[in-house]
Amino acid sequence: MTQSPQSAQISYNTSLKQLENAADIIKLDPAAYELLRHPLRELHVTMPVKMDNGSTKIFHGFRVQHNDARGPNKGGIRFHPDETIDTVRALASWMTWKTSVMDIPLGGGKGGVICNPKNMSLGELERLSRAYIRQLGNFIGPQKDIPAPDVYTTPQIMAWIADEYSIMHGHNQFGVITGKPLALGGSAGRGDATARGGIYCVREAAETIDLNLAGARAAIQGYGNAGSYAHKLAVELLGMKVIAVSDSSGSIYNPDGFLYEALMAHKKKSGSVTGFPEAAAISDKELLELDVAVLFPAALDSVITKTNAPDIRAKIIAELANGPTTPEADTILYKKGVYIIPDLLCNAGGVTVSYFEMVQNAYGYYWEEKEVQQRLEKKMKTAFLAVQQKSKAYNVNNRLAAYIVAVERVAEAMKLRGWY
């Protein structure tokens, strides 16, 4: 993944403000509002892990279940040195809204472990992943709370977790987690799902604002799973030219556009996109401010701020990361007429195909990649339309519209269940 560990943190207060704005507009019942302001449950865990040098290191982690009115909690696990309970809380609530915007029968959760995977061996990572899942114990489960990959966690980590959980329960329980490798009940099409969902949204957005994408320029901030697949698919599906990309080591630029295969091969070999031949080094700030049709923030949160927002020239911002735009930047960009596809919608392809993975695990019957992609496309288009219609109905920006769609659905489920 591709972010500076120093980036400003997402705060739960910001997410509460977004909820408050939506609640005001739809005149949400006060009890429902109070319920949604708090996670239903959270667990703090401490884990001893044997390190390769013979020492034992103590790690801390969390799992937050924000709301499961519409179905089991769902959301990724982050391994990050700056992880905090506050960030995990915010991200868990965003999963509630994300699954609701997508209208998939799931709630919202998120997990985090404070660690720096970049400084850990594979063996240490495996022992930490297994220790974390043992500590979560029955807090999670295929009908209760289903984790998945997120920042710095991979299909291999999902495989260890599926294995550990299966051992704990005496039989295979692969449905406890999604984003698994194909050989362990993963879904075809999960790998590029986050980027693919975002690309489908970009296509819809361009149509809405009458922007021709063929041959148009794109810049990608972050070259992890979402960012690198966004490069591949922006070229393949939209005919765009990706003229700048970045990762935690720096940003590169080539006005003629980068070839995905060549850049990926370079990154695999050297560990970074920087130093790619026939590319100029630019600053991360310059990348964000390039004159492009589409800017994809695809790393960590809070990279588009009130400081750089006035200089952003992209026509569309496609938020593949969670929380890349601060609320102040949001207001500035909205006034400037930039079309923002909010994270709740733009990066929801990942959790949507995770949901497909759960369905296939429960069914014991697996779909071909084409079928997954077709189903994803349909889901993304429907959600995009729902957000667009709300935005028109209430004359609000896309982000607030996405919140309104989401909060209304969760509130309806809570009402029907008799929670208020």
Task: Catalogue the active-site residues.
Answer: 110
Query: Which three-class secondary structure string do you get for 344-402?
Result: HHHCCHHHHHHHHHHHHHHHCCCCCHHHHHHHHHHHHHHHHHHHHHHHHHHCCCHHHHH
- If one asks whether residue 351 binds ligand GLU (CB under 6 A), the answer comes out as yes
In angstroms, what is the C-alpha Rg of the chain?
20
d(CA 276, CA 253): 10
The phi, psi pair for 375, rounded to 5°, reads -65, -40
Residues 80-119 contacting ligand GLU, CB under 6 A: 98
| String marking each residue 190-219 x if it binds ligand GLU according to CB under 6 A | ------------------------------
How many Cβ atoms from other residues are within 10 Å of residue 363's Cβ? 9
**CB of 145 or CB of 330, closer to ligand GLU:** 145
Sort 331 into a burial class: Cβ within 10 Å, 0-12 / 13-18 / 19+.
middle
The one among 178, 251, 326, 360 contacting ligand GLU by CB under 6 A? 178
Work out how close the CB of 380 gets to ligand GLU at its nearest, in angstroms, rounded to a whole number.
Answer: 13
Length of the chain: 420
Nearest CA to 194 among 213, 178, 171? 178
d(CA 176, CA 188): 17
- If one asks whether residue 398 binds ligand GLU (CB under 6 A), the answer comes out as no
**CB of 289 or CB of 357, closer to ligand GLU:** 357
> Who's near 43: CB < 8 A, 6+ residues apart?
62, 63, 64, 136, 139
Residues 144-163 contacting ligand GLU, CB under 6 A: 148, 150
How many Cβ atoms from other residues are within 10 Å of residue 182's Cβ? 12
- If one asks whether residue 189 binds ligand GLU (CB under 6 A), the answer comes out as no
Work out how close the CB of 75 gets to ligand GLU at its nearest, in angstroms, rounded to a whole number.
Answer: 5
The one among 75, 111, 155, 175 contacting ligand GLU by CB under 6 A? 75
**CB of 76 or CB of 163, closer to ligand GLU:** 76
> Which pair of structure tokens corresponds to residue 407?
């909060």
Which residue's CB comes closest to ligand GLU? 76
CB 319 within 8 A of CB 341: yes
**CB of 229 or CB of 276, closer to ligand GLU:** 229
CB 79 within 8 A of CB 117: yes
Work out how close the CB of 180 gets to ligand GLU at its nearest, in angstroms, rounded to a whole number.
Answer: 11
> Who's near 71: CB < 8 A, 6+ residues apart?
99, 104, 105, 106, 107
The sheet carrying 217-221 orders its strands as 280-282, 250-253, 241-247, 217-221, 294-297, 316-318, 339-341
Segment lying near ligand GLU (by CB under 6 A), choices 52-60, 246-254, 281-289, 347-355: 347-355
Segment lying near ligand GLU (by CB under 6 A), choices 40-48, 57-65, 346-354, 382-390: 346-354
Work out how close the CB of 239 gets to ligand GLU at its nearest, in angstroms, rounded to a whole number.
Answer: 27
- If one asks whether residue 319 binds ligand GLU (CB under 6 A), the answer comes out as no
**CB of 142 or CB of 275, closer to ligand GLU:** 142
Work out how close the CB of 319 gets to ligand GLU at its nearest, in angstroms, rounded to a whole number.
Answer: 11
Work out how close the CB of 193 gets to ligand GLU at its nearest, in angstroms, rounded to a whole number.
Answer: 8
**CB of 193 or CB of 332, closer to ligand GLU:** 193
**CB of 292 or CB of 348, closer to ligand GLU:** 348
Work out how close the CB of 407 gets to ligand GLU at its nearest, in angstroms, rounded to a whole number.
Answer: 18
- If one asks whether residue 322 binds ligand GLU (CB under 6 A), the answer comes out as yes
The one among 76, 175, 185, 224 contacting ligand GLU by CB under 6 A? 76
User: Site for ligand GLU (CB under 6 A): how many residues?
Assistant: 13
The one among 65, 100, 354, 391 contacting ligand GLU by CB under 6 A? 354
d(CA 164, CA 68): 25
CB 112 within 8 A of CB 62: yes
> Who's near 345: CB < 8 A, 6+ residues apart?
98, 101, 102, 201, 380, 383, 384, 387, 398, 402
What b/e string do you get for 202-240 counting C-beta neighbours within 10 Å, with b at 16 or more?
Answer: bbbbbeeeeeebeebbbbbbbbbbbbbbbbbbbbeebeb
**CB of 96 or CB of 178, closer to ligand GLU:** 178
| String marking each residue 28-67 x if it binds ligand GLU according to CB under 6 A | ----------------------------------------
Residues that bind ligand GLU (CB under 6 A): 74-76, 98, 148, 150, 178-179, 322, 347, 350-351, 354
